[in-house]
Amino acid sequence: MYKVLIADDEKNIRLGVQAMIKREYPDFETLLAADGQEALERIIEHKPDIVITDIKMPGLDGIQLIKELQQKEIQTSLVILSGYDDFTYAKEAIKHRVKEYLLKPVNRMELYKTLNMIIEELETSQKMTYQHMDEYRASQLNYILLNPNIQKEVVGELYKKMKIESYPDGYYVGIIESDGEVEGADFLAKINQLLHSSKDCIPFLDKDDRVTIISADIEIFSLLKQQLGMERHLVITIGISEKEQDIRELKKVYEQAVTALKYHFLYPQRPLILYEKVKGKPDVSALPVDLINKISNMLGTERENEIKVNLKQVMDFDVITNSSLSYLENLNREINETIFKGFFKRLGEESIATFELLNKMADIYNFNNFHEYFHALEDLLMRIHEYNKQLKSLYSEQKYMDRAIAYIRENYHKDLNLAVVANYISLNYSYFSHMFKEYIGKNFVDYLKMVRVESAKKLLKETDFKILEISEMVGYKNPKQFARVFREVEGISPKEYREKNG
């Protein structure tokens, strides 16, 4: 609703313009003045949005009235009326930023056209003013929330600048978190639409881009929950503080709402969580460190069931829900330090790629709720468990292979076969045959040939032993077999090799 003042020394003109306005704009409040001086006094008192004034009036005329308003820095939209088509008046009016110059008798359609143009400008300006104030409030409120040492006196001064009045009956802070498609500035715009009629609500985005609301009425949060809950794509949670009288205690009350919101992690079925319902839970400092160490020590052993049993004991939901939320946060920190970081420290940074969950496990709030977190934790532990088992198996195989290769290289000149080596390292013949090929990349017979030929090449180059003697020295009693194997590996005969290498 807008206020319009009509100033004209002719009563019929005043009443005629007033009647036109009331007919087209019944919600407008109209004020009348018979001369410029009366108009000035009424403008100062009532602060109308629009002033329609005659130019020629006794005492203070229209142009003088406009100059007085500008000197007093009174902001209003001005429209000039005149019974004369006088360009001099029009120029003077334009110079003083008058919105329109209307001739008497006033044409109804011209008046409506002028008023509609002014209304559109006022609404645009008002929107910009509201938007600017909203942005200013958001920045100042976040400054209060983020500044740990801000004094109450400073906070009080900031509230005056933000035009935030005190709450004589107390206020609440609520933080709304959305898991849907709409969030951030778009979500705030949606909340503003729902709160358009709530004068005591101040919504803004906090540093984490969550809609935060200061409200004198706690019921507004239940109403928002109901309205937002009707939209399928929106899943919301609201954390609500206790009631506070002193507006300067905003930071304390905001932290209460943050804490309440965190408890959604334990109670995912509750869209609205009150701080008064979750406060006062004891801070438990004693963590089940022994159990966590046991789990760490059992990873990679054949004790998978024990690992899971111990994990359930560590993550006892009754203990967690009856303790402060900091207990679970500390518990997660201890698990990460004792098990995960220690594991990757031993195995090297390249192992991190195998477990993409590791980074996510660092913060419990990366998960939607406790049960999702628990299953991810158990899954990661089992992955590490299996990986450890595989590594232990690989280490064991490497140890066996190192012994087997050393034995072959020390005894290749003897009557050696796969069974002899398998027996030496105490492994099943078939298992050793498979493992040898996987590890070396070739079967036992080919590997033995390679070792014997390597030794023969050295003897052919560096000694004067006969080829027959060298054949026996590398494990071949039959010279023909030695020559055949040598040609198979090197492509030439032992004799040709010796001649080629001097």
**Is the per-residue pLDDT at 128 higher than 60?**
no
Q: Supply angle C-alpha 59, 45, 64, rounded to 5.
A: 30
Which of 55-59, 335-339, 387-391, 407-411 is the least confident region? 387-391
Pick the CATH number of 3-106 from 3.40.50.2300, 1.10.1740.10, 3.30.70.100, 1.10.3720.10: 3.40.50.2300
- Three-state SS for 196? coil
| Phi/psi at 209 (5° precision) | 65, 30
**Is the per-residue pLDDT at 346 higher than 60?**
no
Per-residue pLDDT, 171: 93
Was domain 412-500 assigned CATH 1.10.1610.10?
no
The model's confidence at residue 198, banded by pLDDT at 50, 70 and 90, is: low
Cβ atoms of 418 and 429 closer than 8 Å:
yes
**Is the per-residue pLDDT at 97 higher than 90?**
no
* Domains 165-278 and 412-500 in one fold: no
**Is the per-residue pLDDT at 393 higher than 80?**
no
Per-domain boundaries in the chain? 3-106, 165-278, 289-363, 412-500
Residue 22 CB contacts under 8 Å (≥ 6 apart), including other chains: 28, 30
Average pLDDT over the chain, rounded to whole?
84
Please give the residue that has the higher pLDDT: either 58 or 92: 58
Per-residue pLDDT, 340: 81
Please give the residue that has the higher pLDDT: either 304 or 355: 304
- Three-state SS for 178? strand
Q: In what order do the strands lie in the sheet with 201-205?
A: 201-205, 211-215, 172-178, 236-240, 272-274
Per-residue pLDDT, 439: 74
Alpha helices in 207-288 (DSSP H): 219-229, 250-262, 275-278
d(CA 443, CA 222): 74
**Is the per-residue pLDDT at 330 higher than 90?**
yes
**Is the per-residue pLDDT at 384 higher than 60?**
yes
Cβ atoms of 36 and 62 closer than 8 Å:
yes
**Is the per-residue pLDDT at 497 higher than 90?**
no
The model's confidence at residue 98, banded by pLDDT at 50, 70 and 90, is: confident
Q: Tell me: the pLDDT tens digits for 208-229?
A: 889 999 999 999 999 988 888 7
The model's confidence at residue 350, banded by pLDDT at 50, 70 and 90, is: very low
| pTM for the model | 0.56
The model's confidence at residue 300, banded by pLDDT at 50, 70 and 90, is: confident
- The average pLDDT across 39-64 equals 88
**Is the per-residue pLDDT at 117 higher than 70?**
yes
Residue 46 CB contacts under 8 Å (≥ 6 apart), including other chains: 3, 5, 31
Q: Torsion angle, CA of 392/393/396/400, rounded to 10 degrees?
A: -170
d(CA 223, CA 229): 10
Beta strand pairing call for 3-7 and 236-240: unpaired
d(CA 237, CA 174): 10
Was domain 165-278 assigned CATH 3.30.70.270?
yes
Question: Cα separations (Å) of 347 from 292, 297, 341, 343, 400?
Answer: 19, 15, 10, 6, 21
